[in-house]
Amino acid sequence: MLFVDMIVSLLLIISGIAMAWYVYENHIRAILAEQCLVDSYNCVTISYWSYENSVLFTLRPYGYSCWYDGDSIYVYDAIANTQLCPMTIIDDDTNIVKFVSAYKLQKTPFLFSTSSSNQQVCIESIESIKKYYEDLGVTEKTLRKIVPGFFISGSSRYNESGTRYQNSNFSVYDAINLLVNEKIIKI
């Protein structure tokens, strides 16, 4: 009788493990993948503030910040060259508005050009724009998206068919197109 009890207990443990694996693989994993919590090698996370047709966003894992004001795309200079934009002003509400260096991009990427006409400009700092959005009642939102075909993180990855993902960067233009596709902005 003891031997039969051990066999039954062992079968119960094995079936419990098999059921847990089945539930994880077929239900839980899909939910975690949508949130980029597993297999995050091709996921991007965009933290953004949007109002009407403008958006301020930070793209992770790259870490750069951009602002689309409804007309132009600006990428903030990560080095923050304060020599280029030394000015600060005080607005009507006695708030200090700091200006920082950014690159103004064309609305479409250059396909056949070897030179870039992106210009370096002085625009309001990220903090100033966040405060503007917060004064309008806008809160930070997060968009997590699986980006098929892009290889975001630092290790070699293969898709389900065994084809290696191409090493490619998810560009500012790709982020803008994603925000357009999600109907956050219009271009």
**Tokens 């966040």 identify what position?**
130
pTM of the predicted protein model:
0.70
C-alpha angle 76-171-147 in degrees, rounded to nearest 5:
130
Mean per-residue pLDDT pooled into runs of 10, the chain (187 residues): 87 95 90 78 86 92 87 81 67 72 77 62 89 93 80 51 57 88 90
Q: What per-residue confidence (pLDDT) applies to 162?
A: 56
Q: Which amino acid is at 90?
A: I
Bridge partners (DSSP) of residue 151 are 167
**What is residue 155's predicted lDDT score, i.e. its pLDDT?**
46
Number of neighbouring beta carbons within 10 Å of residue 130: 15
What is the CA angle 122-186-119, rounded to 5? 25
Partners of 60 in beta bridges: 45
Q: What is the pLDDT of residue 95?
A: 67
Please give the angle made by the CA atoms of 100, 105 and 108, to the nearest 5 degrees.
160
